[in-house]
Structures are given as structure tokens and as C-alpha cells.
Amino acid sequence: MIKHLNNTEQGNGIDTVTVKNLVKKFGAFTAVDGISFDISKGEIFGFLGPNGSGKTTTIRMLCGVLAATSGEANVLGFDVFRQPEEVKKRIGYMSQKFSLYNDLTVEENLNFYGGIYGVSRERLAERKEEILEMAGLIGREREFTMNLSVGWKRHLALGCAIIHDPQMVFLDEPTAGVDPISRRQFWDLLYLMAEQGKTLFVTTHYMDEAELCHRVGFIYQGRIIALDSPKNVKLTEMKDEVLEIVCGNNEIALRILPEVDGVDEVFIHGAVLHANVRNSEKVIPVIRRTLSEQGVDCQRVKKIDPSLEDVFVRLIDRMERQPQL
């Protein structure tokens, strides 16, 4: 079961990652635009943003595989740009498309990656036992990887990425395409690793996963626009109240509700609508009346606590409304 940690449980005050004014340009295009942040040992740091916002470019620079245009970055005490090979040897990296060999067994995949990372035979035997137990793969050592479910493949991919026992692990969309139960099981593994003192840098599109991070950074058009714990981000960045609206026709409601005085924006949230409003007590009756006048059955309108997804939408909307320089 996933354990929700509070701020007093995150890290130990020692920075595993420090980034200062990091910039990456591709010709005239600036992919990462002067970002700065620190990550403490034992912290799960969530890095969030739309596609093309600079998340993967940032990871590639921090992993020592892409040179920065300017700025500084230090991982595990090594300068990423001057000592990239030292960084690569000491980190783990797992992407959405982490390569497992389907025609190899679970154990053979672990052996293969142990060899790539130069793990000694004696240490590899220990690490395989630890990983198989941690990932719930004991008894499946001789099973061909092609026969594993997507969720178990993710467990194995994580095991292969950390076979050399790195203290820093980068995970780029590691649970994409995985069912909700398997995602929760995967996050149980991440929490176990954090409790063991490992530092995790995670990108995800799932806002419920982002809620589980100790801190989150929102990146948009190459710039970090919010950085704090999920709780504090919601407190500081979400000034509006949030309403949940259940009605008979979301399409019509999406068209007419933004015109209601006091409603800043309306967007789809699963099967319901969320609306950011300035005064819920006054706006709720107007919303009900407006929907009724348009022939839309309004089943429920209630004030709810904002989620990170609400904050994310609000931040992006605010940035897109700003005039371009």
C-alpha cells in the first residue's frame, strides 16, 4: 500500500542534484530556459509539464548524455558536463520505452544489464536476489519476459535499471500504459527505494502519481513555473475555488459556463467538469440556473478541494494568457 509521506519525512537535507540557470538551445529554439532547483537525498521529485515542455531534455542533460548550452548541474557530487561518464556510472535510468529482451528470461535480463553496468559476479548474485524480492518476481526467474504482463515488465525494467545499486534514479514516464493497480504497486517500489535513501527524479502525466511526490516542479515552455510540495503548490498557486459539476451534456456546459460571471475556466475532469470560480457561494446558483435555461440537466454542483490537475490547468492557462514578448 502506498504510504503518503509528509514534508518532515522527505530527504535528509543533503542535495543529490543541484541545477543552476540550466539552458539548452537547439538553434534558435530554447528547449530549457534557465531552470534552477535542488533535490535532496531520499527525495521523490516529480517533474511535470505538457509534451514538448523540456522534461526529457532536462533528464538527458542531468544524465550526462546531452550537453547544455549554459548553466550548471551537479549529480551525486559530479559536474554533469565535465564528468559525464562518472555520472552515468552512478545513476539509474528508466524510460517509458526501457528495452527489455522478450526472448530472454527474467533472470537473463538481469544478468545482461548487470554485465553492462560491470557488476561483479558475486555482487550480481546478491543484487538479483534483492531485486527479485523487491519487485515481487521470485518464482518467475525462468519465465520469458514476453509472457509477463505490462505491469510486471515495468517491475523488471526498474530492477534492470537499478541492478548496479545506484543512489540516483531517473524515471521518464515509467508507468505510461500501465493499469491503475499495477501503477500503485510500482509506486510502492519507489517509496521503498526512497526509504532506503535513494533519490528519484520522476516525470509523469498522471496527476494522482504527482500527488505522491515529496516535491513537484512544473515546467512550461522550458521554464519552471511552480516548485514546492504538492500541498504547498495547491495552497500558493490555486487562488480560485474549484467546483465539480455533474450534468447531462458536458459539451454544451463547456461552451456556456465560461461566460458566467465569476467563472474563470471550465475543463473536463474524467466524466465530470471542473470549474475555477472566484466565489462559489454566489456562482453555484447561477451555474444551476444557466444550465437549466439551456436545457441541460444539472445533477450536482459542489465545491471540492483542488487537485494537482486543477493547479496544472490553472498554471498553463495563466501562462498562455500572458502576452508573448
Query: 78-97 pLDDT, tens per residue?
Result: 999 999 999 999 999 998 88
Cβ neighbours for 59, distance < 8 A, ≥ 6 positions apart: 47, 93, 170, 172, 201, 203
Q: Report yes or no: 160 and 132 within 8 Å, Cβ to Cβ.
A: no
Q: Which sign, positive or negative, has the C-alpha torsion 178, 182, 188, 192?
A: negative
Going from the N-terminus, what domains does the chain have, and what CATH number goes with each? 7-233 (3.40.50.300), 239-305 (3.30.70.100)
Residue 96's pLDDT is 82
Confidence of residue 10 (pLDDT cuts 50, 70, 90): very low
Cβ neighbours for 214, distance < 8 A, ≥ 6 positions apart: 5, 7, 9, 10, 11, 43, 44, 45, 194, 229
Mean per-residue pLDDT for 16-21? Answer: 96
* 276 beta partners: 242, 265
Confidence of residue 238 (pLDDT cuts 50, 70, 90): confident
Residue 270's pLDDT is 85
What's this model's pTM, rounded to 2 decimal places? 0.86
| Amino acid in the structure at residue 267 | F
Query: Does the pLDDT of residue 4 top 70, yes or no?
Result: no
Query: Does the pLDDT of residue 11 top 90, yes or no?
Result: no
Residue 6's pLDDT is 41
Q: What is the 3-state secondary structure (H, E, C) of 41-54?
A: CCCEEEEECCCCCC
Cβ neighbours for 307, distance < 8 A, ≥ 6 positions apart: 207, 211, 234, 242
Q: Report yes or no: 275 and 246 within 8 Å, Cβ to Cβ.
A: no
Residue 323's pLDDT is 60
**What does the DSSP 8-state code read for residue 323?**
P
Instruction: Convert the pLDDT of each residue in 159-193 to its tens digit.
Output: 999 999 999 999 999 998 888 898 999 999 999 99
Cβ neighbours for 115, distance < 8 A, ≥ 6 positions apart: none
| Amino acid in the structure at residue 149 | S
Residue 61: which of 154, 170, 146, 147 has the closest Cα?
170
Residue 110's pLDDT is 97
Burial per residue of 79-100, b for 16 or more beta-carbon CB atoms within 10 angstroms, e otherwise: ebbebbebbbebbbbbbbebeb
Count of beta carbons in the 10 Å neighbourhood of residue 182: 18
Per the listing, cell 494537482 goes with 308
- What CA–CA distance (Å, rounded) separates 24 from 26? 7
